[in-house]
Amino acid sequence: MRVAGIDCGTNSIRLLIADVDADGVLTDVVRTMHIVRLGQGVDRTGWFDPQALERTFAAIDEYAQLIKQHQCEAVVFAATSATRDASNRDIFIDGVYDRLGVWPRVLSGEEEARTSFAGAMSAVHNPAGPLVAVDLGGGSTELVLGDSDGNVLSAFSMDVGSVRMRERRMVSDPATAEEITAARQDIAQALDEAERVVDLSQARTVLGLAGTITSVAALTLDLTEYDSDRIHGLQMSVAQIDETTQWFIDSTLAQRQAVPFLHPRRADVMGAGALVWQEVIHRIAQRSAEAGHQLESITISEHDILDGLALMAAGV
């Protein structure tokens, strides 16, 4: 069965066209992304900016042509954090239907977390459990505790992400010490709330998902161009994540724009996203140590909510 999944987040909109076999195994046909910044200003204003809508609709028009060209049998379009927050979301929802003929699903934070986990687990073999998946997006960050069989034990969506923290706190170039401290406090408060639901101390493995986290991995590998095959499955230590995220946090916009593999429209929010990733990993490592065990593995995954949406389209 050939299906399409579209993930429309705060910063990017991504398309996966895939063939799904009887066992629920995905084979990519098309996997592509545009950074459209749909959530531009939503944290401050509470509504979608007309220019952001225009950029997003242009990407959806392109995706509609690809879906038609590849004769997809089913399409699932998911909208996440920015759409949950925008008061004028109906304009966006109607615009998606006009272009694709399907109504977008506005996922709750927990639905987003569970779909991300399903997508990540579809491409992980024999992980040590329990494990925590971290899906770090532009507007929110999902934390999912699950077992090695892919069962979700608990899930929580935090209203912190690369775009939200950049617009709310880290506005200078580079961010000032005061801005970084304020951002860390916001993230810490969000993690405190998340821990009422998700027991981070159980984690033996962490799965890191989405563009900020894979970009940190790419810089750690010193890549000159983005290489999904080298990034997927990469094992990272807390020390490696600390070193690379700190570079992004301290760097100027010009320095980030000079990173050869980094998308130009991701450069301005990478410092804020790296800070979120650093704080999440610190918290999980701290809870693991308090529970009397070391965090055994931090694994980077190129598979996430987009794969979960394709599986959903296939009815898996």
Tally the C-alpha atoms within 13 A of residue 52's C-alpha that lie toward its C-beta: 22
The answer to whether position 136 is within a domain reads yes
Is the confidence at residue 271, as pLDDT, over 80?
A: yes
Same domain for 291 and 146, yes or no, is yes
Q: Is position 238 within any domain? A: yes
Question: Average of pLDDT values for 223-237?
Answer: 95
User: Can you say how many angstroms the Cα of residue 202 is from the centroid of all Cα atoms in its chain?
Assistant: 22
- Contact residues for 132 (Cβ-Cβ < 8 A; gap 6+): 143, 144, 145, 146, 198, 200, 202, 203, 205, 206, 207, 284
What is the mean predicted confidence (pLDDT) over 240-260?
97
Q: Are residues 190 and 55 part of one domain? A: no
Contact 277, 136 (CB under 8 A): yes
Is the pLDDT confidence value at 297 over 80?
no
Q: Which two tokens stand for residue 304?
A: 């996430």
Whole-number percent of the chain with pLDDT over 90: 88
DSSP 8-state assignment for residue 45: H
Same-domain pairing of 130 and 275: yes
* Cβ atoms of 203 and 220 closer than 8 Å: no
CATH number of the domain where residue 152 is located: 3.30.420.150
pLDDT of residue 142: 95
What pLDDT shows up at residue 47? Answer: 92
Q: What is the pLDDT of residue 126?
A: 79
Q: Is residue 140 part of a domain?
A: yes
- Let me know whether 181 and 74 are in one domain: no
Question: Do 93 and 172 have their domain in common?
Answer: no
* 29 falls within a domain: yes
Provide the domain limits for residue 73: 2-109+306-314
pLDDT tens digits, one per residue of 85-130: 899 999 999 999 999 999 999 998 889 999 999 999 988 887 878 9
State how far the alpha carbon of 250 is from the alpha carbons of 194, 243, 274, 278, in Å.
27, 11, 10, 13
**Does 73 share its domain with 96?**
yes
Asked whether residue 143 falls in the same domain as residue 105, the answer is no
pLDDT of residue 296: 76
Question: In total, how many domains does the chain have?
Answer: 2
The predicted pLDDT at position 157 comes to: 94
Claim to verify: residue 75 and residue 130 sit in the same structural domain? no
Question: Are residue 296 and residue 310 in the same domain, yes or no?
Answer: no
Crossing angle (nearest 10°) for helices 270-290 and 238-250: 150
154 and 99 in a common domain: no
pLDDT at residue 295, as a whole number: 87
What pLDDT does residue 109 have? Answer: 86
137 and 37 fall within a common domain: no
Q: How do residues 25-54 score in pLDDT, each as one tens digit?
A: 999 999 999 999 998 999 889 999 999 999
**DSSP per-residue codes, 87-122:** TTHHHHHHHHHHHHSSPPEE--HHHHHHHHHHHHHT
Q: What is the CATH number of the domain that holds 32?
A: 3.30.420.40
Pair 56, 139 in one domain: no
Residue 119 belongs to a domain? no
- Give a yes or no: residue 115 inside a domain: no
* Residue 30 forms part of a structural domain: yes
pLDDT in the model for residue 181: 97
- pLDDT score recorded for residue 48: 94
Angle between helices 270-290 and 177-194 (to 10 degrees): 50
- Give mean pLDDT, residues 296-313: 93
